[in-house]
Amino acid sequence: MSMQMALPIAMIPGNSLIHRITPLPKMIWVVGYIVLAFSTTNIVILYSMALFAFLIAVISGVTRPLLKACVILVPIASSLLALQIIAPAVEKPWTSVGHIGALALYGNGVYYGFVLLGRIVASLIMALVVVMTTHPSDLFTTFAKLKIPYTFNFMLAMTLQLIPVFQREVGIIMSAQKSRGMKGRGFSAVLPSFVPVFVGAIERVQQLSISLESRGFGSAGIKTSYRQVKSRPSDWVVAIVGVVAIATLATMSIMRGTWNLSTVILFPHAFVFWLFVVAASVFAAVILVTVFYMFKR
């Protein structure tokens, strides 16, 4: 992974149905997804949510960048499943399904492991689809309509603008270090590069601060936005469908005590064994790559 690789924050331009929806209904869906994901332990619901979010990504035409961004799930998914098989986060007694050397493997944690993973996957895919199909300015205009203080909006918007700048500058400084025969990886290369980047940024924001002051930032009065976001009837339909569907599923889950299916869905011992082998191997590979990069000059 190179330093020049951009963070997956950019909106992917497009004119799909999802791109045309205003930010508020999309935000309702994201918040609803998080609420539903944490109010149920039903893996059918959780993975249906993930599948639905993925279908929305396909409709939006953001499948490739989404899959690229979802690579961050590989280490956490592998370690989560491996850890839940050797130490389930459920009450004892646990049922052993086999041993690898002195290490006992338990089937009880697999269901819970898939629940935790399903929560992360479903919420992450929906959030990323929304970020990739929403113009940041539209998002901040919507925040302003929701009475979120404009200084908070300004700080968040400015942060998103500064991230690629910082990232590029750290890359330039580290390349300069490498070209002078200095170390280009590890702590001794990264840590000193933060100082010039930050101090340079401070000098720039002092000018920006004066500019803001001269334009009356912080003065009383109604704040207006250059971009206008107007909701159409279809946006309201999307929002209402989202609220109704998510509230119904969340209520049903809560009424059934999180709707746990661990006694209905049973995983064969061989599946648990091989799942552990695959998950632990993937995670070990991630660790080995980490160690390799740490000690590579």
Judged by CB under 8 A, the residue of 29, 54, 111, 283 near another protein is: 283
d(CA 210, CA 190): 31
Judged by CB under 8 A, the residue of 47, 52, 217, 259 near another protein is: 217
Residue type, 212: L
What are the φ and ψ backbone dihedral angles of 100, each rounded to 5 degrees?
Answer: -120, 100
Instruction: Answer yes or no: are the C-beta atoms of 88 and 108 closer than 8 Å.
Output: yes
Judged by CB under 8 A, the residue of 17, 58, 67, 163 near another protein is: 163
Crossing angle of the two packed helices 23-39 and 136-145, in degrees rounded to 10: 80
131: which residues sit within 8 A by CB, 6+ positions away?
Answer: 8, 9, 11
Instruction: Answer yes or no: are the C-beta atoms of 229 and 22 closer than 8 Å.
Output: yes
Does 89 bind another protein (CB under 8 A)? Our answer is yes
- Positive or negative, the CA dihedral 90, 91, 94, 100 is positive
Does 28 bind another protein (CB under 8 A)? Our answer is no
Q: By C-beta, is 180 or 233 nearer to another protein?
A: 180
36: which residues sit within 8 A by CB, 6+ positions away?
Answer: 45, 49, 246, 249, 250, 253
Q: By C-beta, is 159 or 251 nearer to another protein?
A: 159
Minimum distance between the CB of residue 123 and another protein, rounded to whole angstroms? 5
Q: Beta partners for 98?
A: 105
Judged by CB under 8 A, the residue of 58, 72, 240, 270 near another protein is: 72
Does 213 bind another protein (CB under 8 A)? Our answer is yes
Judged by CB under 8 A, the residue of 59, 86, 245, 252 near another protein is: 86
Judged by CB under 8 A, the residue of 156, 172, 252, 277 near another protein is: 156
Judged by CB under 8 A, the residue of 12, 14, 28, 34 near another protein is: 34
d(CA 276, CA 97): 11
Minimum distance between the CB of residue 182 and another protein, rounded to whole angstroms? 13
The structure tokens 């590579």 sit at 296
d(CA 78, CA 73): 8
Minimum distance between the CB of residue 233 and another protein, rounded to whole angstroms? 28
Minimum distance between the CB of residue 44 and another protein, rounded to whole angstroms? 19
Q: Which span (16-24, 247-255, 266-274, 281-289) binds another protein, by CB under 8 A?
A: 281-289
CB atoms within 10 A of CB 29: 25
Q: By C-beta, is 12 or 201 nearer to another protein?
A: 201
Judged by CB under 8 A, the residue of 40, 41, 84, 253 near another protein is: 84
The structure tokens 């280009």 sit at 184
Judged by CB under 8 A, the residue of 55, 67, 103, 270 near another protein is: 103
d(CA 90, CA 259): 16
Q: By C-alpha distance, which of 148, 140, 150, 147 is closest to 218?
A: 150
Q: By C-beta, is 59 or 286 nearer to another protein?
A: 286
Name residues contacting another protein, limited to 220-279 (CB under 8 A): none
Instruction: Answer yes or no: are the C-beta atoms of 85 and 108 closer than 8 Å.
Output: no
Judged by CB under 8 A, the residue of 24, 57, 97, 131 near another protein is: 131
Q: Which span (40-48, 148-156, 230-238, 243-251) binds another protein, by CB under 8 A?
A: 148-156
Name residues contacting another protein, limited to 107-126 (CB under 8 A): 109, 112-113, 116, 120, 123-125
